């Protein structure tokens, strides 16, 4: 099964803060789907998603984010996500 994940390209929200694009949200879903055999493709309107710096804080880490930071193929896919 092929799944297209569409991510935001918005750099700031109405509050002036970066959008809540948390790695833990993306990675948990991504690994559940990938472990079930899905082929994932990530893209966004501008290509490459903005990342909420808060999601990289030590207290925001989960088993899925720790797995992601060791998964160089997944990091490359997100860093070089396609442009819609």
Segments making up each domain of the chain, as ranges? 19-83
Is 14 a residue whose pLDDT tops 80? no
pLDDT digits (tens, 9 = 90+) for 26-61: 787 888 899 999 998 888 888 876 666 677 778 888
Is 10 a residue whose pLDDT tops 90? no
Is 20 a residue whose pLDDT tops 60? no
DSSP assignment of 10-55 equals: -S--TTSSPP---HHHHHHHHHHHHHTTPEEEEEESSSS----GGG
Q: What's the confidence (pLDDT) of residue 12?
A: 62
- Rounded to the nearest integer, the mean pLDDT of the chain is 80
Which pTM does this prediction carry?
Answer: 0.68
């Amino acid at each position: 099964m092929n799944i297209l994940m569409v991510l935001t390209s918005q750099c700031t929200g109405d509050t002036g803060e970066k959008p809540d694009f948390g790695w833990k949200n993306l990675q948990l879903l991504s690994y559940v789907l990938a472990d079930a055999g899905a082929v994932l493709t990530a893209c966004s309107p501008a290509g490459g998603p903005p990342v909420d710096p808060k999601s990289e804080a030590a207290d925001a880490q989960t088993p899925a984010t720790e797995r992601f930071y060791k998964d160089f193929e997944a990091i490359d896919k997100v860093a070089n996500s396609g442009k819609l």
